[in-house]
Structure 1
Amino acid sequence: IIPSRFTKVYLNWMENIRDWCISRQLWWGHRIPVWHCEECSQITVNADQPERCTHCGSSKIYQESDVLDTWFSSALWPHSTLGWPDDTEDLRHFYPTTVMETGYDILFFWVARMIMMGLENTGDIPFRWVYLHGLIRDEQGEKMSKIRGNVINPVEAIEEYGADALRFAITTGSAPGNDVQVSSQKLEAGRNFANKLWNASRFVIRSLPPGLEDTALPPVLPVEDRWILSRLDQLIAKVNHLLEDFQFGEAEREIYDFLWHEFCDWYIELAKIRLRRHSDKLEPSPLPVLVQTLEISLRLLHPFMPFITEEIWQRLVSHLPQDESRPDSVTIAAYPTARGVTDTQAEEEMESVIEIIHSIRNARAQSRIEPARWIEAQICTKNKPAIESHRQSIETLARVQPLAIVDPRKGRGNREGALVLVLRNVEVILPMAVDLDAERHRLEKEKEALQAKIARLETRLSDSTFLSKAPPLIIEREQRKLLDSQVRLGKIKERLTQLC
């Protein structure tokens, strides 16, 4: 049973089982196979309608008017729908099934009784796994009811936000057996994500030339292409692992984070710069990588948001070269599987570039510099050739010009009165008027945050349980985080000393 904490609840019910009143006074249901005798007042139980009372032989008998409890009838569902009691091909093929999905509130009413009936009638349990989802509640965690007036009508929500947005709101980030709080803000977030995906897809499709003949990846790719493909491969591996572990909400959140924060926010913006300068064809076009990343992402997301992914997928493949092996629908397309290839060098380089752009944007916002205004910047890095190769991207996305990229071993530049951003592997110098007290305060806060982070990482890396159970890649990643944080802390302390 998933989550496993409900196994104890299930066993407690089964080990302390009580009598069950199976009759209900309803107009609809399976009639109870019991006949009453008007002569002797005895009852006759029979699968087929008897002609006489089995006790006194009287023909004055009538069937019980009550019907079976709904849960009694439902308990027969796994095998009765497959032709039982006959030995049918469907019963042999589909019974027992693999996974049963339902709410935790009917674990005993339905799940336990299906198991009881299955064992009694077929000799086997009806399913191997039981996945229990939580209940949908309002944004305060209260049960929805008409009396409270806090019910979200799904039909109205679909009309206003879309079916996929509703699915997104009630599934993203959810955990097995935990209740889900739904609000208009979550529905809006689902709609915003759908719009983001739609607009990104429209950009990719509109960028494709008519009569496109080939979308194969070139043998040599720029760093940003290698980065997004590496991140995509890691996403595929992570999502497949989470799905196998029944962590559906977490899998959807991972896809959301990748599409919004890596593919849309960064890769597409970098691709736009390359597309504008691609007329001379001195570098590979980003289109093959855009197409591949989008198409695979649509297949990853399809189980969670089926309508918009199907629509976009159909539009995308209609612009691609004909492929007889391509299925007619994304629904029946193969789910992505990871290649198991991580491009560490590309990821580290792009992380540094993104951090540079992000830090400059934050500094501009804190200093209330108009978005359209260009400012001067200087980057000090020991990896000058790598950062130099991203000059145009940094200039365009951070709005910095002139931009100087220097090796600190050959001079650290003029820092007097400048804002110095201390990053992991680089320093960014923005020569603009700075409040020194405010700068000291900012650096002190950053120092405290880094010290806390280092303490957490050191504790984790000294934990024998973590070291014995965590995969080597995770341990290596945490060690790298610790080293980067220590280096960055040293630079901040050095900068604070300069300001004293």
Structure 2
Amino acid sequence: MTLDKNFDPAAIEARWYNHWETSGQFRPDRDDAEPFTIVNPPPNVTGSLHIGHALDNTLQDIIIRHERMKGKDALWVVGMDHAGIATQMVVERQMNERGEKRTDYSREDFVEKVWEWKEESGGAITGQLRRLGCSMDWSNERFTMDDGMNEAVLKVFVDLYNDGLIYRDKRLVNWDPALKTAISDLEVETRDVKGGFWHFKYPLADGVTLDNGQDYIEVATTRPETMLADMAVAVHPDDERYKSVIGKKIEQPITGRRFKIVADEHADPELGSGAVKITPGHDFNDFEVGKRAGFAAGDMLNMFDGEANVCQTADGLIPDEYIGLHRFKRDGVDGARELVVQRMKELGFLIPHVTKSKDGETVEHDAEPRTIATPYGDRGGVVIEPWLTDQWYVDAKTLAQPAIEAVKSGAIEIVPKTWEKTYFNWMENIQPWCVSRQLWWGHRIPAWFGPSKEAAINDNQKAIASTLLGEAIFVGSNEDEIRRNAANFYNIDPSEVNFAQEEGETGISGQGNYVLRRDPDVLDTWFSSALWPFATLGWPEETKDLSRHYPNDLLISGFDILFFWDARMAMQGIQFMKDVPWKRLYLHGLVRAEDGSKMSKSKGNVVDPLGLIDQYGADALRFFMAAMESQGRDIKMDDKRVEGYRNFATKLWNAARFCEANGIGASKTLAAPDAVLPVNRWIISEVVETLASLDKALGDLRFDAAANTIYHFTWDRFCDWYLELIKPLLQGDDEAAANETRTVSGWVLDQIIVMLHPFMPFITEELWHSMATETGGREYDLIVAKWPEPKAAVDTQAKAEVDWLIRLISAVRAAKVELNIPPGTKMTAHIRDGDSALQKRIERQSAALDRVGRLESLSFDPAPEGATAQLVIDDATYVLPLAGAIDVDAEKARLNKALEASQKEAKSLNGRLSNPNFVEKAKPEAVEKARADLADKEAEAERLQAALARLG
């Protein structure tokens, strides 16, 4: 025996993974084979393996192992994202612990420290992916800041700019005042916060009144501080209350700013007063209203600095007492919000919220209490401020059109197809993509600013603050290219173009040289990762991998990054490679807590996959992920199910030990061996059918169906039935039958090990080698073994016979359970309505019926008088005499008593569920439990009635 008595995952996982990686098994040399390619969503360099990573990477590994075993040149591209914000935060936090800050260093020195951190501490997740068993091509691991990616990012930016698809614009962004940078929608999390809804009077100017004589318009807001930058009040164009004042002016009480009442369908007549104050510089909806009202972005008012402190607006109308205040109360000091409310109240323009006290008295409050969905930065941890800034944008609308057509034409297949509608809706209404971030760590934007041409001409090349007249923008791959471009633009010699130091001014020096300043911003990390399918293969160089492995075959991704990553890869891939980045896009769901809620650290329900691997093994966790992944549906975490799949691995281990103990070793053939015995022909047929179902499920990306197919074949058909049915053959006197059975069972175990390998790579690799020790070992590892090719047809006759045998034995066992007969009791059966074919079957299967079914004899003679149990299998009835096996009267009494109890409980549960008060008012989980209990009791009553019927 070479296999240990107990299956210990920890003892084999690290050993086999190290062997695979060091021997180059993840990317065997197959230049002549058909290529197959997957790229992994690059995890953050600061990240650690979470349960979502475990799902995503397990599914990818299943596919890549399957394709590798099918003989393909299977490439799984692996790498990490430089994670601009997260990484800079980690390094700055370490600096703060030492009493330092980022600005103590030059930009170059700080970036060098980030690289040092990356080499020492970054990328822990790569070791964790190895623990999961991910067979990635680590020899070609990529990083979004490596030299090749830098070259690709630079070229893409410059080319898009030259094609008019990247531009600089003033728009609203999600601004994180803690990090002082724009962030993406994905980095914004919404929290429910207790707040207020304030109502104010905005007086009409110039003596104008509404038709009812009212001299003000009522507006309401959850953000009263923003009224310092209000530029309009919007009403619905069809709202009769305000038609007469559209185009008239409001005079804002605090700033004295006069602005118009505009007609816009954004204002809902059914909501509140139907009038909405418009602050286009600090609200995304208001920004659009402002544009429709004719405000240019450059004219929209900004009232906050980068830390969300009040600054003066361009028109200078914010009173001095507000300047420098934070937007909210902080450290016990009132902020702009509190002061605005106080001043509006003092001026008589606050409309109080009125309630009744318990004793019926009227009580006035400044605001109506509200729970408000509030955007927070997921890393900065503060409320996001919509902020009007100059940023770089990609013309996503233009790039989206070919990507839309690719899905419509079928060039990209989205699985499940139901996600197509969501994809089209977002892509057809796509907004400009903000790609600049105010950080030091990342791809520096290759843009330089210089004095405008007008400045040079009008001021005769004297020093000038170029910001007065705007700036020229130069984009290029390096300073030499920029110097040439600037010289051509200004019609000067390249030697007359200089570059300012960091944060320096642009302009014209006293010596007449033109001074350019580089943009200090870096690119959004999604910009570089959008190039992942082709930049990781060597682009812009024409590499061998690029020509063979682009487009990729498949992308597996969580649906939550469909727009942030997947769609952008589609756009950039088509733009630069003139072909789709991948042929299929599989979108999986999220892994949720056991109760279905979203996992979060604040709820304390986050599951550590490494802890599950320590407890149950990587194979068990992987199989759980596959078995629960049902095309886009979310997965509920269930430790018991993971434990169940650990038991499944143990079951397979014990089956292999049984085979070893009975002289069954590894097979030497890919094709199915010849077989005469029905049970062996049957199991070969089962392999053929299982393989077909498994291949179809994997081809359709039905991971749950694939996992369940191999699970049920292994556990039910092979372990529970085949190994039991062949015991009489292995231990009998017929040497030919025993040898055939050993050959077939060794082949079948090989097929199981191979088919199960993509799901459970560690235990299968161990068994692959262990089962071959008696025959001299394997010539190659399982990871590169061939996928099964039985070259056999389904034997319908053998299947029918063994399926009949299984049904009969199962029915006998069930009857014993129902009638309280000990399972080991030997019984006889008398057969009615049987024919000669059945008689021959019984003769062939007599050993199995005796040893496994505990039927010591089967007779076609009539059954003796007395109590019997009757089983109907196909067209024959099997009568089991019960005399001596049980006390029939006592058993009837027991069954009747149990039946009465089950029916009584079912009736009670049914009554409760028929009561509308219970169904409507009880907790949903209580209602579901009652329904489940009712189903259980009804099933139990049905089983007991069947047992009574058997007794006659």
TM-score range relative to shorter protein: 0.7 to 0.9
Partner of 1:462: none
The alignment partner of 2:583 has SS state of strand
Partner residue, 2:681: 226
Pair 304,496 (structure 1): closer, same or farther in 2 beyond 3 Å: closer
Residue 737 of structure 2: aligned partner: 283
Matching residue within 429, 433, 436 for 1:23:
436
* Counterpart position of 1:467: none
Equivalent residue for 1:354, pick from 783, 787, 806? 806
1:309 to 764, 777, 799: 764
Question: Could you tell me whether the CA contact under 8 Å between 2:753 and 2:764 is conserved in 1?
Answer: yes
- Check whether the contact 2:587–2:632 (CA below 8 A) recurs between aligned residues: yes
Which residue of the other structure, out of 327, 331, 345, is the alignment partner of 2:797?
345
| SS of the residue 1:265 aligns to | helix
- 1:88-134 deviations in Å (ceiling 9; x for gaps): 23222211121111111111111111111112212221111111122
After superposition, give the CA deviation of every residue in 1:361-381 in whole Å (9 maximum; x if it has no partner). Answer: 111122222334334443443
Name 1:386's counterpart in structure 2. Answer: 841
Residues 1:59 and 2:499 are matched in the alignment: yes
User: What residue number does 1:334 align with?
Assistant: 786
Select the residue among 865, 870, 879 that pairs with 1:429. Answer: 879
Indicate the residue corresponding to 1:297 in structure 2.
Answer: 752
Q: What's 2:416 paired with?
A: 3
SS in 2 for 1:125: coil
Whether the aligned pair in 2 keeps the contact of 1:217 and 1:288 (CA below 8 Å) is no
What is the identity percentage for the equivalent residue pairs of Structure 1 and Structure 2?
A: 38
Equivalenced residues, count: 439
One-letter amino acid of the counterpart of residue 20, structure 1: W
1:266 corresponds in structure 2 to: 721
Please identify the structure whose Cα radius of gyration is greater: 2
Matches within 5 A, 1:27-106: 27-37=440-450, 39-41=465-467, 42=471, 43-49=473-479, 50=482, 54=486, 57=497, 59-60=499-500, 61-106=516-561
* Cα deviation 1:252-294 (Å, max 9, x = unaligned): 110000000000000011122221214x526343111110000
| Structure 1 residues 200-251: Cα deviation after superposition (integer angstroms, max 9, x where no partner) | 0121123227999999977552111111111111111111112111212211
User: Given the superposition, is the C-alpha separation of residues 127 and 211 from structure 1 closer, same or farther in structure 2, using an over 3 Å criterion?
Assistant: closer
What amino acid sits opposite 1:92 in the alignment? S
Task: Report 1:457-496 matches (<5 A).
Answer: none
Q: 2:866, 2:448 → 1: CA distance?
A: 100
Distance 1:327 1:30, change over 3 A: farther
Indicate conservation of the 8 Å contact 1:213/1:321, yes or no: no
Give the superposition deviation at 1:136: 1.3
Secondary structure of the residue that 1:98 maps to in structure 2? strand
Cα distance 1:22–1:178, how it changes in 2: closer, same or farther (>3 A)? same
Structure 1 residues not aligned, in runs of 5+: 443-491
Contact 1:36 1:62 in 2 (8 A): yes
Residue 405 (str. 1) matches residue 867 (str. 2):
no
- Determine helix, strand or coil for the equivalent of 1:102: strand
Aligned counterparts of 2:865 and 2:576: Cα–Cα separation in 1: 82
With over 3 angstroms needed to count, the CA separation of the structure-2 counterparts of 1:284 and 1:274, relative to structure 1, is closer
CA contact (8 A) 2:671 2:792 kept: no
Alignment-derived partner of residue 181 in structure 1: 636
In structure 2, how many angstroms separate the alpha carbons of the residues matched to 1:364 and 1:262?
A: 22
Contact 1:352 1:425 in 2 (8 A): no
Counterpart residue identity of residue 681, structure 2 = R
Give distance in 1, aligned partners of 2:666 and 2:703.
Answer: 39
Indicate if the aligned counterparts of 1:115 and 1:125 stay in contact, CA closer than 8 A: yes
Bigger shift: residues 188-197 or 97-106: 97-106
Residues 421/163 of structure 1: CA separation in 2 closer, same or farther (3 Å cut): same
What amino acid is aligned across from residue 754 of structure 2 in structure 1?
Answer: R
Q: Which amino acid aligns with 2:478?
A: D
Q: Distance in 2 between matches of 1:212 and 1:52?
A: 71
Q: CA deviation at 1:413?
A: 2.2
Separation in structure 2 between the aligned mates of residue 220 and residue 63 of structure 1, nearest angstrom? 77
Aligned partners of 2:555 and 2:585 also within 8 Å: yes
Structure with more relative contact order (C-alpha pairs < 8 Å, separation 6 or more): 2
* Aligned residue in 1 for 2:822: 370
C-alpha change, 1:376 and 1:211, in structure 2 (3 Å) is closer
Closer/same/farther in 2, CA of residues 228 and 173 from structure 1, 3 Å limit = farther
Q: CA contact under 8 A between 1:165 and 1:187: conserved in structure 2?
A: yes
Is residue 135 of structure 1 aligned with residue 561 of structure 2? no
- Residue-by-residue CA offset, 1:124-177 (whole Å, 9 max, x unaligned): 211111111221112222221122222221111000000000001111142222
Which 10-residue stretch deviates more, 155-164 or 86-95? 86-95
State the TM-score, normalizing by the size of structure 1: 0.80
SS in 1 for 2:852: helix
Does the CA contact (< 8 Å) of 2:672 and 2:684 recur in 1? no
Alignment partner of 2:655 out of 174, 186, 200: 200
Residue 425 (structure 1) shift: 3.5
- How many Å separate the matches in 1 of 2:711 and 2:666? 32
User: How far, CA to CA, are the matches of 2:599 and 2:844 in structure 1?
Assistant: 56
Q: Root-mean-square deviation (CA), in Å?
A: 3.1
In structure 2, what is the Cα distance between the partners aligned to 1:88 and 1:218?
Answer: 45
Cα distance in 2 for partners of 1:416, 1:312 equals: 52
SS class of match (1:398): coil
Say if 1:69 and 1:315 are closer, same or farther in 2 by CA, change over 3 A.
same
Q: Please report how far the alpha carbon of residue 297 of structure 1 lies from its aligned counterpart in structure 2 after TM superposition.
A: 1.2
Which residue does the alignment assign to 1:464?
A: none
Distance (whole Å) between structure 2 residues aligned to residue 269 and residue 102 of structure 1: 43
Query: Could you list the per-position Cα deviations for residues 440-496 of structure 1 after superposition, in whole angstroms to 9, with x for gaps in the alignment?
Result: x99xxxxxxxxxxxxxxxxxxxxxxxxxxxxxxxxxxxxxxxxxxxxxxxxx99x97
CA distance in 1, matches of 2:819, 2:654: 31
Counterpart contact for 1:234–1:338, Cα < 8 Å: no
Structure 2 counterpart of 1:419, from 863, 869, 882: 869
The one-letter code of the counterpart of 1:251 is A
CA contact (8 A) 1:138 1:181 kept: yes
Structure 2 counterpart of 1:365, one-letter code = V
Deviates more, 1:23-32 or 1:429-438: 429-438
Partner of 1:455 in structure 2? none
3-state secondary structure, aligned to 1:283: helix
Larger proportion of helix? 1
Q: Aligned pair 1:254/2:709, yes or no? A: yes
1:87: Cα distance to partner? 2.4
1:339 counterpart letter in structure 2: K
Counterparts of 1:284 and 1:141, CA distance in 2: 51
Contact 1:53 1:59 in 2 (8 A): no
Cα separation, 1, equivalents of 2:610 and 2:689: 37
Q: Is contact 1:218-1:284 (8 Å) kept?
A: no
Where structure 2 has 5 or more consecutive residues not aligned to the other structure, the ranges are: 1-413, 452-464, 491-496, 501-515, 900-944
